[in-house]
Amino acid sequence: MRDKQIEDLKDYKYGFSTDIESFKAPKGLNEEVIRFISNIKKEPDWLLQWRLKAFERLKVLKEPDWQKAKYPKIDYQDLYYYSAPKSFKEKPKNLEDLDPKLLETYKKLGIPLQEQKRLNGIAVDAVFDSVSVATTFKDTLTEKGIIFCSISEAIQKHPDLVKKYLGSVIPITDHFFATLNSAVFTDGSFVYIPPNVKCPMELSTYFRINASDTGQFERTLIIADKGSYVSYLEGCTAPMRDENQLHAANVELIALDDAEIKYSTVQNWYPGDKDGKGGIYNFVTKRGLCKGKNSKISWTQVETGSAITWKYPSCILKGDNSIGEFYSIAITNNHQKADTGTKMIHLGKNTKSKIISKGISAGKSDMTYRGLVDISKNASNSTNYTQCDSLLMGNKCGAHTVPYIKNKNSNSNIAHEATTSKISEDQLHYCQQRGLNQEEAVGLIVNGFCKEVLQQLPMEFAVEAQKLVGISLEGSVG
Protein backbone atom coordinates (compact mmCIF):
# COMPACT_ATOMS: atom_id res chain seq x y z
CA MET A 1 0.00 0.00 0.00
CA ARG A 2 2.66 2.42 1.07
CA ASP A 3 4.82 1.46 -1.88
CA LYS A 4 2.03 2.32 -4.25
CA GLN A 5 1.56 5.65 -2.56
CA ILE A 6 5.20 6.41 -2.88
CA GLU A 7 5.24 5.37 -6.52
CA ASP A 8 2.43 7.78 -7.18
CA LEU A 9 4.09 10.56 -5.39
CA LYS A 10 7.66 9.91 -6.28
CA ASP A 11 7.76 12.38 -9.06
CA TYR A 12 6.50 15.78 -8.31
CA LYS A 13 2.82 15.15 -8.61
CA TYR A 14 1.87 18.76 -8.91
CA GLY A 15 4.06 19.11 -11.96
CA PHE A 16 1.32 19.49 -14.55
CA SER A 17 0.61 22.87 -16.01
CA THR A 18 -2.81 24.08 -16.91
CA ASP A 19 -3.45 25.19 -20.42
CA ILE A 20 -5.28 28.37 -19.83
CA GLU A 21 -4.73 31.43 -21.88
CA SER A 22 -3.31 34.06 -19.68
CA PHE A 23 -3.31 37.77 -19.84
CA LYS A 24 0.08 39.28 -19.15
CA ALA A 25 1.62 42.64 -18.56
CA PRO A 26 4.49 43.51 -20.91
CA LYS A 27 7.78 41.92 -19.89
CA GLY A 28 10.15 43.92 -17.78
CA LEU A 29 10.35 46.01 -14.66
CA ASN A 30 9.72 49.70 -15.10
CA GLU A 31 7.34 52.47 -14.13
CA GLU A 32 5.04 51.60 -17.04
CA VAL A 33 4.53 48.06 -15.80
CA ILE A 34 3.78 49.27 -12.31
CA ARG A 35 1.25 51.76 -13.69
CA PHE A 36 -0.17 48.96 -15.82
CA ILE A 37 -0.65 46.67 -12.82
CA SER A 38 -2.12 49.43 -10.73
CA ASN A 39 -4.42 50.48 -13.54
CA ILE A 40 -5.70 47.02 -14.39
CA LYS A 41 -6.47 46.45 -10.74
CA LYS A 42 -8.28 49.79 -10.62
CA GLU A 43 -6.26 50.88 -7.65
CA PRO A 44 -6.61 54.24 -5.93
CA ASP A 45 -3.94 56.82 -6.56
CA TRP A 46 -2.34 56.57 -3.09
CA LEU A 47 -1.43 52.96 -3.73
CA LEU A 48 0.07 53.73 -7.12
CA GLN A 49 2.17 56.44 -5.50
CA TRP A 50 3.15 53.97 -2.76
CA ARG A 51 4.26 51.44 -5.40
CA LEU A 52 6.21 54.06 -7.29
CA LYS A 53 7.92 55.16 -4.11
CA ALA A 54 8.94 51.56 -3.49
CA PHE A 55 10.23 51.37 -7.07
CA GLU A 56 12.31 54.52 -6.56
CA ARG A 57 13.82 52.92 -3.50
CA LEU A 58 14.40 49.66 -5.36
CA LYS A 59 16.58 51.43 -7.90
CA VAL A 60 19.18 52.23 -5.22
CA LEU A 61 19.00 48.90 -3.42
CA LYS A 62 21.38 46.09 -4.20
CA GLU A 63 20.39 42.46 -4.32
CA PRO A 64 21.71 40.81 -1.15
CA ASP A 65 24.30 38.07 -1.55
CA TRP A 66 25.20 36.98 1.97
CA GLN A 67 23.10 33.83 1.94
CA LYS A 68 24.66 30.41 1.78
CA ALA A 69 22.85 29.29 -1.36
CA LYS A 70 24.18 31.08 -4.39
CA TYR A 71 22.11 31.31 -7.56
CA PRO A 72 22.70 32.70 -11.04
CA LYS A 73 21.80 36.33 -11.42
CA ILE A 74 18.14 36.97 -12.03
CA ASP A 75 17.31 39.23 -14.95
CA TYR A 76 14.47 41.28 -13.54
CA GLN A 77 13.76 42.76 -16.96
CA ASP A 78 13.07 39.32 -18.38
CA LEU A 79 10.07 38.53 -16.18
CA TYR A 80 6.37 39.07 -16.49
CA TYR A 81 5.11 40.91 -13.45
CA TYR A 82 1.46 40.34 -14.08
CA SER A 83 -0.30 37.30 -15.43
CA ALA A 84 -3.96 36.46 -15.11
CA PRO A 85 -6.08 33.79 -16.76
CA LYS A 86 -7.81 35.58 -19.64
CA SER A 87 -11.27 34.73 -18.52
CA PHE A 88 -10.53 36.68 -15.40
CA LYS A 89 -10.79 40.10 -16.88
CA GLU A 90 -14.32 39.93 -15.71
CA LYS A 91 -14.16 38.38 -12.31
CA PRO A 92 -16.53 35.46 -11.71
CA LYS A 93 -19.21 36.01 -9.14
CA ASN A 94 -19.42 32.47 -7.82
CA LEU A 95 -17.87 29.06 -8.21
CA GLU A 96 -20.17 27.93 -11.02
CA ASP A 97 -18.88 30.73 -13.23
CA LEU A 98 -15.30 29.53 -13.00
CA ASP A 99 -13.41 28.13 -15.96
CA PRO A 100 -13.89 24.35 -15.65
CA LYS A 101 -10.22 23.82 -16.50
CA LEU A 102 -9.26 25.86 -13.50
CA LEU A 103 -11.48 23.87 -11.24
CA GLU A 104 -9.90 20.75 -12.69
CA THR A 105 -6.45 22.07 -11.73
CA TYR A 106 -7.51 22.56 -8.18
CA LYS A 107 -8.95 19.10 -8.11
CA LYS A 108 -5.58 17.70 -9.16
CA LEU A 109 -3.99 19.76 -6.46
CA GLY A 110 -6.23 18.13 -3.96
CA ILE A 111 -8.25 21.13 -3.03
CA PRO A 112 -11.61 20.74 -4.68
CA LEU A 113 -13.11 24.00 -3.59
CA GLN A 114 -16.65 22.76 -3.40
CA GLU A 115 -15.91 19.54 -1.60
CA GLN A 116 -13.54 21.20 0.69
CA LYS A 117 -16.21 23.68 1.49
CA ARG A 118 -18.55 20.92 2.48
CA LEU A 119 -16.20 18.47 4.11
CA ASN A 120 -13.42 20.34 5.70
CA GLY A 121 -14.99 23.53 6.80
CA ILE A 122 -11.93 25.40 5.65
CA ALA A 123 -12.36 28.65 3.87
CA VAL A 124 -10.02 28.72 0.90
CA ASP A 125 -8.75 31.74 -0.88
CA ALA A 126 -6.97 30.25 -3.84
CA VAL A 127 -4.44 32.34 -5.72
CA PHE A 128 -3.91 31.22 -9.28
CA ASP A 129 -0.90 33.06 -10.59
CA SER A 130 -1.68 36.57 -9.63
CA VAL A 131 -5.40 36.81 -9.23
CA SER A 132 -7.45 35.37 -6.46
CA VAL A 133 -9.85 32.88 -8.03
CA ALA A 134 -12.69 32.58 -5.67
CA THR A 135 -13.20 32.84 -2.05
CA THR A 136 -15.32 30.25 -0.42
CA PHE A 137 -17.15 30.23 2.84
CA LYS A 138 -17.63 33.93 2.71
CA ASP A 139 -21.05 34.07 4.24
CA THR A 140 -20.18 32.28 7.44
CA LEU A 141 -17.29 34.63 7.93
CA THR A 142 -19.22 37.77 7.06
CA GLU A 143 -21.69 36.99 9.80
CA LYS A 144 -18.95 37.30 12.38
CA GLY A 145 -17.65 40.47 10.79
CA ILE A 146 -14.50 38.72 9.60
CA ILE A 147 -13.07 40.04 6.37
CA PHE A 148 -11.34 37.35 4.32
CA CYS A 149 -10.80 38.30 0.72
CA SER A 150 -8.14 38.99 -1.83
CA ILE A 151 -6.01 42.00 -1.17
CA SER A 152 -7.22 43.63 -4.40
CA GLU A 153 -10.76 43.41 -3.15
CA ALA A 154 -9.73 44.76 0.24
CA ILE A 155 -8.08 47.73 -1.46
CA GLN A 156 -11.43 48.54 -3.12
CA LYS A 157 -13.71 47.76 -0.21
CA HIS A 158 -11.69 48.41 2.93
CA PRO A 159 -9.17 51.05 1.88
CA ASP A 160 -8.87 52.50 5.38
CA LEU A 161 -7.68 49.24 6.90
CA VAL A 162 -5.30 48.53 4.05
CA LYS A 163 -3.93 52.05 4.07
CA LYS A 164 -3.38 51.92 7.81
CA TYR A 165 -1.59 48.59 7.97
CA LEU A 166 -0.03 47.89 4.57
CA GLY A 167 3.72 48.31 4.91
CA SER A 168 3.54 48.94 8.65
CA VAL A 169 5.52 45.77 9.38
CA ILE A 170 7.51 45.48 6.17
CA PRO A 171 8.08 49.08 5.12
CA ILE A 172 8.78 49.91 1.50
CA THR A 173 12.27 50.86 2.58
CA ASP A 174 13.08 47.30 3.58
CA HIS A 175 15.43 44.93 1.79
CA PHE A 176 15.60 44.28 -1.95
CA PHE A 177 13.03 41.50 -2.42
CA ALA A 178 10.52 43.02 -0.01
CA THR A 179 10.75 46.33 -1.81
CA LEU A 180 10.43 44.60 -5.19
CA ASN A 181 7.26 43.03 -3.90
CA SER A 182 5.94 46.39 -2.67
CA ALA A 183 6.42 47.82 -6.14
CA VAL A 184 4.86 45.04 -8.18
CA PHE A 185 2.70 42.90 -5.91
CA THR A 186 -0.32 41.60 -7.77
CA ASP A 187 -2.59 39.83 -5.36
CA GLY A 188 -2.77 37.92 -2.14
CA SER A 189 -4.99 37.51 0.85
CA PHE A 190 -6.38 39.95 3.31
CA VAL A 191 -7.74 38.99 6.68
CA TYR A 192 -9.25 41.20 9.33
CA ILE A 193 -10.63 39.75 12.55
CA PRO A 194 -12.74 42.23 14.52
CA PRO A 195 -12.27 42.70 18.28
CA ASN A 196 -13.06 39.73 20.52
CA VAL A 197 -13.89 37.39 17.64
CA LYS A 198 -12.46 33.91 17.51
CA CYS A 199 -12.38 32.87 13.89
CA PRO A 200 -14.51 29.70 13.81
CA MET A 201 -12.50 27.94 11.10
CA GLU A 202 -9.01 27.69 9.70
CA LEU A 203 -8.46 30.16 6.89
CA SER A 204 -6.43 28.91 3.99
CA THR A 205 -4.77 30.04 0.77
CA TYR A 206 -3.35 27.84 -1.89
CA PHE A 207 -0.75 29.40 -4.09
CA ARG A 208 0.15 28.11 -7.49
CA ILE A 209 2.50 29.41 -10.11
CA ASN A 210 1.27 28.36 -13.52
CA ALA A 211 2.41 30.60 -16.35
CA SER A 212 6.09 30.31 -17.18
CA ASP A 213 8.45 33.30 -16.87
CA THR A 214 6.30 34.87 -14.23
CA GLY A 215 7.35 35.86 -10.84
CA GLN A 216 4.72 35.52 -8.22
CA PHE A 217 4.55 38.48 -5.94
CA GLU A 218 1.71 38.07 -3.60
CA ARG A 219 1.09 40.10 -0.55
CA THR A 220 -0.73 38.89 2.50
CA LEU A 221 -1.95 41.11 5.25
CA ILE A 222 -3.52 39.72 8.40
CA ILE A 223 -4.82 41.92 11.16
CA ALA A 224 -6.09 40.48 14.41
CA ASP A 225 -7.86 43.17 16.38
CA LYS A 226 -8.03 43.25 20.17
CA GLY A 227 -8.79 39.93 21.81
CA SER A 228 -9.28 38.04 18.56
CA TYR A 229 -7.86 34.76 17.29
CA VAL A 230 -7.14 33.40 13.85
CA SER A 231 -5.37 30.41 12.41
CA TYR A 232 -4.20 30.75 8.83
CA LEU A 233 -2.89 28.06 6.52
CA GLU A 234 -0.86 28.47 3.41
CA GLY A 235 0.13 25.82 0.91
CA CYS A 236 2.17 26.14 -2.24
CA THR A 237 2.79 24.17 -5.43
CA ALA A 238 4.07 24.95 -8.91
CA PRO A 239 4.32 23.12 -12.23
CA MET A 240 7.53 21.50 -13.44
CA ARG A 241 9.59 23.70 -15.67
CA ASP A 242 13.21 23.77 -16.68
CA GLU A 243 13.85 27.38 -15.90
CA ASN A 244 13.87 28.80 -12.42
CA GLN A 245 10.99 30.89 -11.26
CA LEU A 246 11.03 33.59 -8.67
CA HIS A 247 8.59 33.78 -5.84
CA ALA A 248 9.00 36.88 -3.71
CA ALA A 249 6.03 37.27 -1.43
CA ASN A 250 5.51 39.55 1.53
CA VAL A 251 3.42 38.48 4.47
CA GLU A 252 2.57 40.94 7.20
CA LEU A 253 0.85 39.99 10.43
CA ILE A 254 -0.37 42.44 13.02
CA ALA A 255 -1.65 41.34 16.40
CA LEU A 256 -3.21 43.99 18.63
CA ASP A 257 -3.84 43.69 22.41
CA ASP A 258 -4.58 40.12 23.55
CA ALA A 259 -4.86 38.87 19.98
CA GLU A 260 -3.33 35.70 18.62
CA ILE A 261 -2.32 34.75 15.09
CA LYS A 262 -1.23 31.29 14.12
CA TYR A 263 0.29 31.06 10.66
CA SER A 264 1.10 27.68 9.17
CA THR A 265 2.82 27.00 5.89
CA VAL A 266 3.34 23.81 4.00
CA GLN A 267 5.60 24.73 1.16
CA ASN A 268 6.01 22.24 -1.62
CA TRP A 269 7.03 24.31 -4.62
CA TYR A 270 8.68 22.42 -7.45
CA PRO A 271 12.24 21.69 -6.22
CA GLY A 272 13.84 21.13 -9.60
CA ASP A 273 14.76 17.75 -11.00
CA LYS A 274 17.35 15.32 -9.70
CA ASP A 275 20.21 17.24 -11.31
CA GLY A 276 19.13 20.52 -9.83
CA LYS A 277 17.63 21.93 -13.00
CA GLY A 278 14.67 24.22 -12.67
CA GLY A 279 12.68 24.83 -9.54
CA ILE A 280 11.36 27.77 -7.63
CA TYR A 281 13.40 30.44 -5.92
CA ASN A 282 11.41 31.00 -2.79
CA PHE A 283 12.57 34.37 -1.46
CA VAL A 284 9.84 35.35 0.89
CA THR A 285 9.61 38.02 3.55
CA LYS A 286 7.35 37.11 6.44
CA ARG A 287 7.12 39.31 9.44
CA GLY A 288 4.72 39.55 12.33
CA LEU A 289 4.28 42.44 14.70
CA CYS A 290 2.98 41.80 18.20
CA LYS A 291 1.81 45.34 18.50
CA GLY A 292 -0.45 45.07 21.52
CA LYS A 293 -0.02 43.80 25.05
CA ASN A 294 -0.32 40.05 25.62
CA SER A 295 -0.44 39.37 21.91
CA LYS A 296 0.94 36.23 20.33
CA ILE A 297 2.20 35.27 16.90
CA SER A 298 3.19 31.76 16.05
CA TRP A 299 4.79 30.62 12.79
CA THR A 300 4.85 27.00 11.79
CA GLN A 301 6.46 25.94 8.57
CA VAL A 302 7.15 22.74 6.73
CA GLU A 303 9.55 23.49 3.91
CA THR A 304 10.08 20.59 1.56
CA GLY A 305 9.99 22.18 -1.88
CA SER A 306 11.73 24.93 -3.87
CA ALA A 307 15.16 24.87 -5.45
CA ILE A 308 16.23 27.59 -3.06
CA THR A 309 14.35 28.57 0.04
CA TRP A 310 15.47 31.76 1.62
CA LYS A 311 13.18 33.06 4.29
CA TYR A 312 13.09 34.10 7.89
CA PRO A 313 9.56 34.45 9.31
CA SER A 314 10.11 36.88 12.16
CA CYS A 315 8.35 38.30 15.16
CA ILE A 316 8.72 41.80 16.48
CA LEU A 317 7.64 41.60 20.09
CA LYS A 318 6.71 45.19 20.74
CA GLY A 319 3.83 44.86 23.16
CA ASP A 320 4.57 43.98 26.77
CA ASN A 321 4.04 40.29 27.64
CA SER A 322 3.82 39.36 23.98
CA ILE A 323 4.89 35.95 22.74
CA GLY A 324 6.55 34.85 19.53
CA GLU A 325 6.95 31.26 18.42
CA PHE A 326 8.62 29.62 15.47
CA TYR A 327 8.37 25.96 14.60
CA SER A 328 10.08 24.74 11.48
CA ILE A 329 10.87 21.60 9.56
CA ALA A 330 13.06 22.06 6.54
CA ILE A 331 13.90 19.14 4.34
CA THR A 332 16.28 19.32 1.42
CA ASN A 333 17.10 16.55 -1.01
CA ASN A 334 18.94 16.29 -4.35
CA HIS A 335 20.30 19.75 -5.18
CA GLN A 336 17.92 21.78 -3.08
CA LYS A 337 19.20 24.56 -0.92
CA ALA A 338 17.53 26.11 2.06
CA ASP A 339 18.67 29.04 4.14
CA THR A 340 15.92 29.60 6.62
CA GLY A 341 15.26 30.47 10.23
CA THR A 342 13.70 33.28 12.17
CA LYS A 343 14.25 36.58 13.91
CA MET A 344 12.87 37.29 17.34
CA ILE A 345 13.20 40.94 18.21
CA HIS A 346 12.28 41.62 21.81
CA LEU A 347 11.31 45.24 22.43
CA GLY A 348 8.60 45.04 25.11
CA LYS A 349 8.88 43.92 28.71
CA ASN A 350 8.25 40.30 29.75
CA THR A 351 8.29 39.10 26.17
CA LYS A 352 8.88 35.46 25.43
CA SER A 353 9.99 33.61 22.36
CA LYS A 354 10.56 30.02 21.45
CA ILE A 355 12.28 28.60 18.41
CA ILE A 356 12.21 24.95 17.44
CA SER A 357 13.90 24.16 14.17
CA LYS A 358 14.47 20.76 12.63
CA GLY A 359 16.56 20.48 9.52
CA ILE A 360 17.07 17.36 7.46
CA SER A 361 19.42 17.24 4.53
CA ALA A 362 19.95 14.42 2.11
CA GLY A 363 21.39 13.91 -1.37
CA LYS A 364 23.58 16.79 -2.48
CA SER A 365 21.58 19.44 -0.73
CA ASP A 366 22.53 22.17 1.66
CA MET A 367 20.55 23.28 4.69
CA THR A 368 21.23 26.31 6.82
CA TYR A 369 19.46 27.48 9.93
CA ARG A 370 20.11 31.17 10.37
CA GLY A 371 18.44 33.04 13.17
CA LEU A 372 18.58 36.16 15.26
CA VAL A 373 17.53 36.64 18.85
CA ASP A 374 17.83 40.24 19.89
CA ILE A 375 16.82 41.37 23.36
CA SER A 376 16.96 45.14 23.57
CA LYS A 377 17.76 47.29 26.59
CA ASN A 378 14.14 47.87 27.55
CA ALA A 379 12.94 44.31 27.20
CA SER A 380 13.47 43.32 30.80
CA ASN A 381 12.45 39.88 32.05
CA SER A 382 12.36 38.50 28.56
CA THR A 383 13.26 34.96 27.74
CA ASN A 384 14.16 33.04 24.66
CA TYR A 385 14.63 29.38 24.13
CA THR A 386 16.08 28.07 20.90
CA GLN A 387 16.62 24.54 19.80
CA CYS A 388 17.85 23.61 16.39
CA ASP A 389 18.62 20.09 15.43
CA SER A 390 19.93 18.87 12.12
CA LEU A 391 19.99 15.44 10.66
CA LEU A 392 22.34 14.47 7.86
CA MET A 393 21.88 11.64 5.41
CA GLY A 394 24.95 10.87 3.37
CA ASN A 395 28.20 12.75 3.14
CA LYS A 396 27.46 14.85 0.07
CA CYS A 397 25.06 17.16 1.83
CA GLY A 398 25.64 19.90 4.34
CA ALA A 399 23.89 21.14 7.46
CA HIS A 400 24.77 24.45 9.00
CA THR A 401 23.64 26.45 11.97
CA VAL A 402 24.27 30.17 12.20
CA PRO A 403 22.49 31.77 15.12
CA TYR A 404 23.07 35.38 16.11
CA ILE A 405 22.45 36.06 19.77
CA LYS A 406 22.33 39.58 21.18
CA ASN A 407 21.55 40.18 24.79
CA LYS A 408 21.48 43.79 25.98
CA ASN A 409 19.38 43.26 29.06
CA SER A 410 20.71 41.81 32.29
CA ASN A 411 17.28 40.61 33.47
CA SER A 412 16.68 38.54 30.40
CA ASN A 413 17.70 35.03 29.63
CA ILE A 414 18.61 33.43 26.36
CA ALA A 415 19.26 29.76 25.92
CA HIS A 416 20.35 28.24 22.67
CA GLU A 417 21.03 24.63 21.82
CA ALA A 418 21.97 23.00 18.58
CA THR A 419 22.96 19.52 17.61
CA THR A 420 23.90 17.82 14.38
CA SER A 421 24.05 14.11 13.92
CA LYS A 422 22.96 11.25 11.72
CA ILE A 423 20.29 8.67 12.39
CA SER A 424 21.77 6.41 15.00
CA GLU A 425 22.63 2.89 13.92
CA ASP A 426 21.10 1.53 17.10
CA GLN A 427 17.71 3.05 16.41
CA LEU A 428 17.77 1.78 12.83
CA HIS A 429 18.79 -1.65 13.96
CA TYR A 430 16.05 -1.76 16.56
CA CYS A 431 13.35 -0.86 14.05
CA GLN A 432 14.62 -3.26 11.41
CA GLN A 433 14.77 -6.04 13.93
CA ARG A 434 11.09 -5.55 14.48
CA GLY A 435 10.33 -6.07 10.83
CA LEU A 436 10.44 -2.65 9.22
CA ASN A 437 12.50 -2.29 6.10
CA GLN A 438 15.21 0.31 6.07
CA GLU A 439 13.16 3.03 4.42
CA GLU A 440 10.23 2.57 6.72
CA ALA A 441 12.56 2.66 9.69
CA VAL A 442 14.11 5.91 8.51
CA GLY A 443 10.65 7.33 7.88
CA LEU A 444 9.59 6.46 11.38
CA ILE A 445 12.67 7.94 13.00
CA VAL A 446 12.47 11.12 10.94
CA ASN A 447 8.82 11.54 11.84
CA GLY A 448 9.74 11.22 15.47
CA PHE A 449 12.51 13.75 14.98
CA CYS A 450 10.00 16.22 13.52
CA LYS A 451 7.15 15.47 15.86
CA GLU A 452 7.54 18.54 18.02
CA VAL A 453 6.87 20.69 14.98
CA LEU A 454 4.26 18.52 13.27
CA GLN A 455 2.16 18.71 16.43
CA GLN A 456 1.86 22.45 15.97
CA LEU A 457 0.13 22.10 12.61
CA PRO A 458 -3.64 22.01 12.33
CA MET A 459 -4.98 18.51 11.79
CA GLU A 460 -5.65 18.66 8.05
CA PHE A 461 -2.16 19.92 7.37
CA ALA A 462 -0.39 17.62 9.77
CA VAL A 463 -1.41 14.58 7.74
CA GLU A 464 -0.28 16.12 4.48
CA ALA A 465 2.94 17.32 6.03
CA GLN A 466 3.74 13.94 7.48
CA LYS A 467 3.30 12.40 4.04
CA LEU A 468 5.46 15.07 2.48
CA VAL A 469 8.26 14.39 4.93
CA GLY A 470 8.26 10.79 3.79
CA ILE A 471 8.15 11.62 0.09
CA SER A 472 10.85 14.26 0.21
CA LEU A 473 13.34 11.80 1.58
CA GLU A 474 12.45 9.10 -0.90
CA GLY A 475 15.53 7.38 -2.26
CA SER A 476 17.92 9.13 0.09
CA VAL A 477 18.78 6.06 2.10
CA GLY A 478 20.66 2.97 1.17
Binding to other proteins by residue 438, rule CB under 8 A?
no
Q: Per CB under 8 A, which of residues 64..83 are in contact with other proteins?
A: 66
Binding to other proteins by residue 398, rule CB under 8 A?
yes
* Options 186, 204, 267, 409; binder of other proteins; rule CB under 8 A: 409
Of 262 and 343, the one with the shorter C-beta distance to other proteins is: 343
Binding to other proteins by residue 403, rule CB under 8 A?
yes
Of 170 and 360, the one with the shorter C-beta distance to other proteins is: 360
> How do 22-24 and 83-85 pair as beta strands?
antiparallel
Least CB distance from residue 341 to other proteins, whole Å? Answer: 12
* Options 48, 161, 402, 436; binder of other proteins; rule CB under 8 A: 402
* Options 396, 429, 451, 467; binder of other proteins; rule CB under 8 A: 396
Could you give the dihedral angle defined by the CA atoms of residues 67, 71, 72 and 75, in that order, rounded to the nearest 10 degrees? -70
Of 144 and 416, the one with the shorter C-beta distance to other proteins is: 416
Of 126 and 393, the one with the shorter C-beta distance to other proteins is: 393
Of 30 and 424, the one with the shorter C-beta distance to other proteins is: 424
Binding to other proteins by residue 420, rule CB under 8 A?
yes
Binding to other proteins by residue 351, rule CB under 8 A?
no
Of 74 and 402, the one with the shorter C-beta distance to other proteins is: 402
d(CA 72, CA 227): 46
- Please give the size of the binding site for other proteins, defined by CB under 8 A: 34
Binding to other proteins by residue 40, rule CB under 8 A?
no
Whether the CB-CB separation of 326 and 355 falls below 8 Å is answered with: yes
Binding to other proteins by residue 354, rule CB under 8 A?
no
Binding to other proteins by residue 400, rule CB under 8 A?
yes
Binding to other proteins by residue 393, rule CB under 8 A?
yes
Binding to other proteins by residue 427, rule CB under 8 A?
no
Of 125 and 339, the one with the shorter C-beta distance to other proteins is: 339
* Options 39, 142, 413, 437; binder of other proteins; rule CB under 8 A: 413
Q: Per CB under 8 A, which of residues 359..388 are in contact with other proteins?
A: 377
* Options 62, 93, 100, 395; binder of other proteins; rule CB under 8 A: 395
* Options 90, 93, 94, 410; binder of other proteins; rule CB under 8 A: 410
Binding mask 8-37 for other proteins (x = CB under 8 A): ------------------------------
Of 182 and 350, the one with the shorter C-beta distance to other proteins is: 350
Least CB distance from residue 396 to other proteins, whole Å? Answer: 7
Q: Per CB under 8 A, which of residues 105..144 are in contact with other proteins?
A: none
Of 424 and 447, the one with the shorter C-beta distance to other proteins is: 424
Binding to other proteins by residue 422, rule CB under 8 A?
yes
Binding to other proteins by residue 196, rule CB under 8 A?
no
SS3 for the chain is CHHHHHHHHHCCCCCCCCCCCEEECCCCCCHHHHHHHHHHCCCCHHHHHHHHHHHHHHHHCCCCCCCCCCCCCCCHHHCECCEEEHHHCCCCCCHHHCCHHHHHHHHHHCCCHHHHHHHCCCEEEEEECCEEEEECCHHHHHHHCCEEEEHHHHHHHCHHHHHHHCCCCCCCCCCHHHHHHHHHCCECEEEEECCCCECCCCEEEEEECCCCCECECEEEEEEECCCCEEEEEEEEECCCCCCEEEECCEEEEEECCCCEEEEEEEECCCCCCCCCCCEEEEEEEEEEEECCCCCEEEEEEEECCCCEEEECCEEEECCCCCEEEEEEEEEECCCCEEEECCEEEECCCCCEEEEEEEEEECCCCEEEEEEEEEECCCCCCCEEEEEEEEEECCCCCEEEEEEEEEECCCCCEEEEEEEEEECCHHHHHHHHHCCCCHHHHHHHHHHHHHHHHHCCCCHHHHHHHHHHHHHHCCCCCC
Orientation angle between helical segments 2-10 and 459-472, nearest 10 degrees:
80
Q: Which residues bind other proteins (CB under 8 A)?
A: 66, 377, 390, 392-422
